[in-house]
Structure 1
Amino acid sequence: MNPKVDFIIIGAQKAGTTALFDYLGEHPQIGLSDVKEVHFFDDEGRDWAAPDYGAYHARFHLADRSRRWGEATPIYLYWKNSIERIAAYHPEARLIILLRDPVERAFSHWKMEFARGAEVHLFEWCIRQGRARLFDAEPWGFHREFSYVERGFYGEQVAKVLAHFPAEQLLILRSDDLEAAPEATLRRISGFLDVAPPPSIRPRRVHEGQAMSYPSSLTTEDVALLRRLYAADTAQLAELTGIRFW
């Protein structure tokens, strides 16, 4: 049987996955893809009725079985059908999820898209009227850039993962823990991946926005609105994982 990728960091965007990818790249028993975000299982241009995994495997050196091989594409947690496609590829894969306060995540996501020029609207409009833009997206209801609110429904997303993978193959972490206690968090990840404890590390920032002047700030009204939108989902996440952000 051809070797397969052992683990995937599937989310969430703007929750520290870049820092985690960099940390894991320093572990001698862990091998990573040649780019951080492979974007294979969210590629709608592939024939998913008969997928060819050759292009995916070309991103790794899977013949080296002295390492656990993995990648980090944080849109997988959110994107339609990605989890089903991963399960069809490798039902024994181990999955890692980093979660950040969904309100903070949404604003950080907006700042990233505004800084890169993909977004031109104010944050307060984006999380209200701007959500209608997802109905013009393909697949319907999913958008790579403008999904500020939708990517934060973690309870629904985790429930979907658990419908396709057993809980013991899933590790869910808080981005705050990676930032505040990186060595302890990486020891936990190493145990999950069945590799030795990590070597000493140099702490780094988990998430930082581009230094520029933004036309919006995260207001108390925005926070209140988003917390109302997330209330039921937050309860679902707490029931599934014990994780709460407020």
Structure 2
Amino acid sequence: MDSGTARYNVELRKTLQRELDALPDGGYKLLPTGEYPGPLVINRAITLEGQATTKGNRPKTSIWAIQGPVLIIQSSQVVLRNLNIEVTGLPLQLDTAPRQDAPVDTGRSSAILVWPRRNPTCQNLEIEGEVIGIPDEYGIWHYPRTLHFSNPLGWSQPERPAEVITLVVPIACQIVSTRTELQVNPNRLNPGSNQVQLSLQPPTGGGSTGGSIEGFRQSGRQADPPMGPLVGPPVGLEASLLLQTRSFTRRIDLIFNSLD
């Protein structure tokens, strides 16, 4: 990030913070589609709302910071809606075995930090990072932001076993695919380490030659480059895995690479 961009982000954050501070209790702030630098502090009983896509209801308004906490909730009766809140500078250590007993970083890795007994209302929020101060969400989440595929796993190879990934979650949650072609088993995760099977079912009429996951790596705000030779996935296929709790969604984007 160059110095000009850094200065712009600092001024944008200060301006937005002043606008939030000026709202009365019961006030409302709509953030248009875009990216807004944090950290931001909410110290009034207000509603902070972003915008979402018409199809899929995915938040298009992001609040981000290189390190957390990104959003600090100091007041009761706060409502957060249609926001993507993410820590961008501290990728999960996915090249090491996940540790269920690893300590939670209560500062730098937290997307949301809630003061005791504040209990914000959270609606349609996607997050990258830990949530501190909401008991139902507290704990270690270990998952990739991006999964890289070569020829899609099991594509046109029904006999090929499904690929397996390990996800660590602190609480029970649903895991949902955004595409019917992508089969996930199980579709509910239990607290702790979970083995999840992934397989793709080709559409009627055939598909590309089979392949496998090349591996997965954590990306920041942009996807990592392809890993190794990649050939022949179905053109234009996009998919995500959604880890859904009562209050939040965590997203794993799937990238299908090919040689043009």
Q: Which has the higher relative contact order, 1 or 2, with Cα contacts under 8 A spaced 6 or more apart?
A: 1
The structure whose Rg is larger is 2
TM over 0.5: no
TM-score computed with the length of structure 1 as normaliser: 0.27
- Structure with a larger share of its residues in helix: 1
TM-score by length of 2: 0.26
Which protein is richer in strand relative to its size? 2
